[in-house]
Amino acid sequence: MHHHHLLSMHEQRHFNIRTIGLSDYLPIWQAMRDFTQTRTALTHDEIWLLQHSPVFTQGIAGKDEHLLNSHGIGVIKTDRGGQITYHGPGQIIAYLLLDIRRLKLGVRELVRNMESAVIDLLRYYHINATGRVEAPGVYVGNAKIASLGLKIKKNFCYHGIALNVNMDLTPFSYINPCGYSGMQVTQTKDLGISDGLEILSNKLADQLQVKLLKG
């Protein structure tokens, strides 16, 4: 019992960070579900850092009319919350596979802390970003720079954050991003941040650990 206690204390100090690279959406989604399905009380929480090949994903609340014209890019109906968004190369995905009960995080707090991880990352580069109560995500002015979506299953979560870094933003114009018509999107490169995907991925993972690990 004492050993178990030590383990759970240690558990709170870090997440396992997996750097995966450019991946198709479906196998990663399946891997997240498998991981969540088979995890136990002793499973370490993980952050998966990757990029997706071009794809639109539509959340469970997603309305078909928000896809204006896919221009041949695949559309996948997925099991996260939220509306439709676009993923493509040059966008950092940080998937969070967490035991939120063990982390003592409520869902609203989890979302706020995810947003503040991105906000603090951008603040490091002297860029002022904000969250919005009515539309989860992170915004610079009126332009969205990061989107959020989660699935919560029996106190476990998966899915996470997508941060636009250095990508072709054109496909965002094929949709109403997150259900908002005409929403502008931006990315770190266009805000004058020269650091690339690898540095920003690692900084984002660090910020997420700071925000989500209270121990």
Active site residues: 178
149 carries a ligand binding annotation: yes
The residues with which 86 forms a beta bridge, in sequence order, are 56
39 carries a ligand binding annotation: no
Residue type, 24: D
139 carries a ligand binding annotation: no
87 carries a ligand binding annotation: yes
80 carries a ligand binding annotation: yes
DSSP annotation string for 106-147:
-HHHHHHHHHHHHHHHHHHTT---EE-SSS-SEEETTEEEEE
- Count the helix, strand and coil residues of the chain and give each as a percent rounded to the nearest 5: 35, 30, 35
160 carries a ligand binding annotation: yes
Residue given tokens 């770190």 in the structure block: 188
106 carries a ligand binding annotation: no
Among the listed residues 108, 111, 169, the one whose alpha carbon sits nearest the alpha carbon of residue 143? 169
Burial of 33 (0-12, 13-18, 19+ CB in 10 A): middle
CB 77 within 8 A of CB 26: no
59 carries a ligand binding annotation: no
What is the chain's alpha carbon radius of gyration, rounded to the nearest angstrom? Answer: 17
148 carries a ligand binding annotation: yes
147 carries a ligand binding annotation: yes
Which residues carry a binding-site annotation? 80-87, 147-149, 160-162
Pick out the residues of the known binding site for substrate. 80-87, 147-149, 160-162
